Amino acid sequence: MTVKGSIKAVADIWTAYYSGLRHLFHRSYTLRFPEQRLVVEKGYRGRHLLHLDRCTGCGICAWICPEKCITIVPRGERWYPQYFYGRCCFCHFCTDYCPEYALEETVEFDLAEYTRDRLVWSPERLARPPAGKNDKYVFSVETPRGASNIPRVGAKPEK
Amino acid sequence: MTSVVSSEPSESGSQTLTISVGPQHSGSGHMRLIIEMDGDIIIRASPDPGYVHRGTEKIYELRNIIKNIPVIERPAIIDASNLNHAYIRAVEELQGIEAPPRAQYLRCLLNEMNRITSHLYWLSIFGVFLGHTTMFMWPLGDRELIVDLQEKLTGARITHSYIVPGGVRRDLPQGMKEEAIKRTQYLEKRLEEYDKIFFENPIFTARAKGVGKLSRDEAVKLGAVGPALRGSGVDYDVRKDEPYAAYPELDFNVCTRQEGDSYARSMARIDEIRESCKLIRQIVQKIPSGPFRRKAPIVVPRGESYSRVESARGECSVYLIGDGGDKPYRLRFITGSYRNMAIIAPVLIGGHMADMPTAWWSIDYWPVEADR
């Protein structure tokens, strides 16, 4: 190896060291979920929020849904959408096509459940406003299991 | 990773070994490569695709044009908006409507962001299969910056469903311009670091230069597209050769490399990331005001249309036949990876088995996109 080549090799090794050391002070890209949670901005297409007073039960949301995850269910004299989040792909075409602006996107994105039937969201459950940013972690919105032993601020137990 | 299929004497009398790479994804993607070797030299390679075929072309015929949008994006979720753009352009051509200028710019903005994220995702896989763990971590980390921008613009991180007939679904959000300029400038600085740590790394250059050669004539003859074609010195890019959306008004170069080896194909992609960064800055600065969506019917008029766009892995084309209903009568959907399947064998044959990951991943073949 020539002298020039040797110098370059040593310099290259130091470039790698420098680069590695510099990344010690680099901001981490990952979060320690569930203690730390991703804060998504308003406009994120998370779970739906249903305004019961505006909804007319016309069924356009169920018609446009690409995954057929919406069922229109009766509540007294009125009809409301019910979501099955096991199928929802969060395209929010239902929100776009709602003529009465009864549906809204929320920033709530962790909807994991232990059982399949818990993924069915009734109109009443959809009508609840999403949890605030400062809430402590619960496994899902109102699951009485696992990490949800930490009480959520302002949460009411489900009857 | 591999399993021995057979070991039998060849015509010349020497013993050859046929091995199967894949289909469990650990170097091949979700497909199988049947490789016959004489010693360490690959003498025959045949791709065996179809493991992730989902019959999407039939599914498109059963759903109306809006419901088709999330399905159109599924073959390549990291490059979703480019595939969606090809489809929407075909639908708009049949409907006889054109999106407003602001929507055309916003479409290009998302397409370029998708191109960057797709190339960075490829780079991380390419890095890890060459044993360079740093090049696995860095691009995936930096990809987050652009994914966050996409989330800000569309509300979703990967499958955006952003481009719809008649325009786009959301306007440019507040503060997007400054954020886009800042992040693309940062990414360009990071690319220089990538060069130092990876692309100028003597171990990488020794493994990539001269490996998996594909000559210019062969690339043209076999119908290669995208960076795999441009790495062989052909300056074919649908954005330049058949401009669509806002691309005629934007200033950018087609990134080509002459060598036609794995290194050239990789560098063509890295150059494209740089061009896309410039394009994003141009778009947010030049974007005209006005409406971003126009009313469009949910109907496919009787007739035929054909559209093509430059997706991250090459030309993506859609051939649409309408019969007047709300569903397509037939939707033929050809993606870049499908066309690049033809160059897999010529790139691998004649090389060493140890060079297989370099040559194979430099094509950026995405089995899900090819099988559809």
Q: Name the pLDDT band for A135 (thresholds 50, 70, 90).
A: very low
Reference B126, options B9, B44, B207; nearest CA is B207
Q: At residue B1, does pLDDT exceed 80? A: no
| Contact predicate B322/B328, CB 8 Å | yes
B329 and B210 part of one domain: yes
Taking an 8 Å cut-off on Cβ atoms, the answer to whether A41 and B67 are in contact is: no
Give the domain range for residue B24: 2-48
Q: Which domains does chain A have, with CATH numbers?
A: 35-129 (3.30.70.3270)
Q: Chain B closest CA to A21's CA: distance in Å?
A: 13
Size of interface A-B (CB pairs under 8 A): 50
Write phi, then psi, for A47 (nearest 5 degrees): -75, 165
B93 and B179 part of one domain: yes
Contacts of B70 in chain A (CB under 8 A): 66-67, 89, 91
Of B66, B156, B196, the CB nearest to A90: B156
Residue B57 lies in a domain: no
Q: Write out the DSSP string of B22-71.
A: -SSSSSS-SSEEEEEEETTEEEEEEEE--TT---HHHHHHTS-TTTHHHH
- For residue A5, give the H/E element and its range: helix A3-22
Of A29, A45, A65, the CB nearest to B155: A45
Work out the average pLDDT over B240-255: 90
ipTM above 0.85, yes or no: no
Residue B113 lies in a domain: yes
Residue B158 lies in a domain: yes
Taking an 8 Å cut-off on Cβ atoms, the answer to whether A91 and B161 are in contact is: yes
B186 and B300 part of one domain: yes
| Domain tally, chain B | 2
B289 and B176 part of one domain: yes
Of B70, B170, B196, the CB nearest to A89: B70
Residue B346 lies in a domain: no
B38 and B158 part of one domain: no
B28 and B139 part of one domain: no
Residue B240 lies in a domain: yes
B23 and B165 part of one domain: no
Flag whether residue A10 sits within 8 Å of chain B, measured between CB atoms.
no
Residue B20 lies in a domain: yes
pLDDT digits (tens, 9 = 90+) for B165-202: 888 888 888 888 888 999 999 999 889 888 888 888 88
pLDDT digits (tens, 9 = 90+) for B89-118: 999 999 888 888 989 999 999 999 999 999
Contacts of A39 in chain B (CB under 8 A): none
Q: At residue B363, does pLDDT exceed 60? A: yes
Q: At residue B6, does pLDDT exceed 70? A: no
Q: What angle do CA B334, B339, B340 make, to 5 degrees?
A: 140
